[in-house]
Structure 1
């Protein structure tokens, strides 16, 4: 296994594999490394460089969000090379699916070893709703699966705040209703009022402008968005 291999190195090969099967794929949605949706089918894939009890517990917990949960590891992982037969039995017994990614210097190969089956516990409807809401509201695939919060964080909520901030940057003090009309953001007034990131200054009742903090952080987030888009192409 390459010394500098990271969990996120498994992401693009799996994304391309699932995309070719007709799935829409996004990384790091509500702490799930990969979420893939096709029609009404939801897949969750957890990425790890090796297999341990923490990963198994995490994967089983994902059954509250989707029927089909996979673990993905490098084919070069020591436990897979040495305990392949026992590993496949264990994962199948838990009702999980197993994906291995063969990491080569110039090419990566994805193989589905087994699909999830048998184990179908009761779903947590509230958490599943939050997962699907974040997936559907997020514009594009903004985070590599397996990335950490220090290099990620571009949630659907922040994307919407960025759109409002970009509009205010080019406009005089404006109301939430005017922003809604201009960029089709029905919760613009709520974003301005809550001011979660301290990006907005209230000039007078109902009128807001972009704060100095908002101007500075908007520049940083636009750069991050550009970098994320380049990484996913």
Structure 2
């Protein structure tokens, strides 16, 4: 785990974006932790998370020309990341989509820069992969190329019903389906490492066994 990843996890816990307890996920599973990027909801925290996105993207070595944020959470994350990249000396355009096409003014579903070149899709997590699929379709329809997907947290969970779990996570399926890398600032293994650290906060370590059990039941070993 990199220093950047560890810093991000501790920041997300402090901001209560990562919470521990009992939560029901979109898949209907009872999870001992929950990640809600919607709680990066003030200027300071949004600026900090954007820096994590920007540095992760720059460190990845992925070649890109612009950013795209799927509605709705991706809109704020992509625009803030564009600002963070500019502050790091890499000024790139960004765009996002509307859920419904505008029938007046400029019309259409895309707001911002024209989709062109190699585009990184920025979102919070990948659950079912629906927003990624829609984004890839929009990008390719414009004659541009999806270069990567960048998310905050990879939950590393196998997809499917409990009695018919896939061998792959949602992230793996997206990467394999579209032939593009999925980058994450942190993943479930990183979170567990932080929970297991000798200097971990007691409020966090009490959930270590629950997270371990959840990972054992639903997790993939590593992303391919």
Larger radius of gyration: 1
The TM-score, its normalising length taken from structure 1, stands at 0.30
